[in-house]
Amino acid sequence: MNMSLTIFGEIPQSMLDEISILINESYTILGEPMGGSVDLEVFEKSEEEQFFATHDALEGKPRIRVYVNKLLPLTKLVGSAGIRRQIVHSILHGSLRFYLIKFPDVLKKALHQYGLTYDFGNSLLYSIGMSAKEYEVTDFLYSRSFIDEQVAYARYILGPTGEEVIAWRIASTNKLQEVLYLAALIRDISCAVPLVYDEKSGDEIRQYIEQKLAYVTLVARSGIQRIIYEGFNVLEEDTFENINLIAKLVTEEILATTL
């Protein structure tokens, strides 16, 4: 496995070493990135990026980015979990085709039925695609016993914030924005769903999910619960089939009940 490292800003060598060791050890245990190589970019800071670590393959090969100013405030367990997730994305989704996703037929039909734009459809498809991929990453790591750190990551992602409640109040004044908000909520929750069935932590994770859903309408909450607790149960290994299934569920449970 080949890894190229690019540094943006001033970053302590000890932190670079720690990140590199985590990445190399993970690939040794979990498998190689698609294509056998990965680009690692470490940034001293970013005010625009929401997450502390990301993955994409928009240039045709896996690329992992880490933002040190976002990483430093976190516990080591959460930081390691989040970076390891990007490593798994590079193993499972490290090709351009996972980032230029064709519109599922069911979503095309819904856009036509409700008179929606393709820009709206693209935004919706982004959350649907991420829901499938985030679920798959957790399922992959759970099956390989990276449980405690992924539980810690789920707590981090699902932890309630005042900003979310405000964002929901704003989104719920516009039906299209409400749909996009609910789809993004499914995306956030998706990383925790495989953990719901863990004997040790499952009940706790389910409680976190329910807290995450507590402020949306009863109709929206029920729809999301059906998607994540029933629909996600039949997801398998084919990412594109999973995206098609989630698109169908979102169309039935979110679009049809909101618009």
Domain ranges of the chain: 2-97, 101-258
- Say which CATH topology domain 2-97 has: Zincin-like (3.30.2010)
Residue with tokens 């929606």: 116
Nearest residue to 179 (alpha-carbon basis) of 210, 209, 207, 216: 216
Q: What is the mean pLDDT of the chain?
A: 96
pLDDT at 195: 98
pLDDT, position 103:
94
Rounded mean pLDDT, 28-45: 97
pLDDT at residue 86 in the model: 98
Average pLDDT over residues 190-201: 97
Dump pLDDT digits (tens) for 146-187: 999 999 999 999 987 788 889 999 999 999 999 999 999 999
CB 153 within 8 A of CB 78: yes
Residue 50 has pLDDT above 90, yes or no: no
- Other beta carbons within 10 angstroms of residue 97's beta carbon come to 11
The predicted-structure confidence for 133-149, as pLDDT tens digits, reads as follows 999 999 999 999 999 99
Which pLDDT does position 253 carry in this prediction? 98
The per-residue pLDDT for 48 is: 85
- Averaged pLDDT, 229-236: 96
pLDDT for 94 equals 98
Mean pLDDT throughout 65-94? 97
| Contacts of residue 177, Cβ cutoff 8 Å, sequence gap at least 6 | 170, 171
- If pLDDT is split at 50, 70 and 90, which confidence band does 107 have? very high
Q: Are 59 and 99 within 8 A, CB to CB?
A: no
What is the per-residue DSSP string for 105-127? HHHHHHHHHHT--HHHHHHHHHH
Give the pLDDT band of residue 121 (cuts 50, 70, 90).
Answer: very high
Q: What is the band of 55 on the pLDDT scale with cuts at 50, 70, 90? A: very high
Task: Tell me the pTM.
Answer: 0.96
Report residue 49's pLDDT band, with 50, 70 and 90 as the boundaries: confident
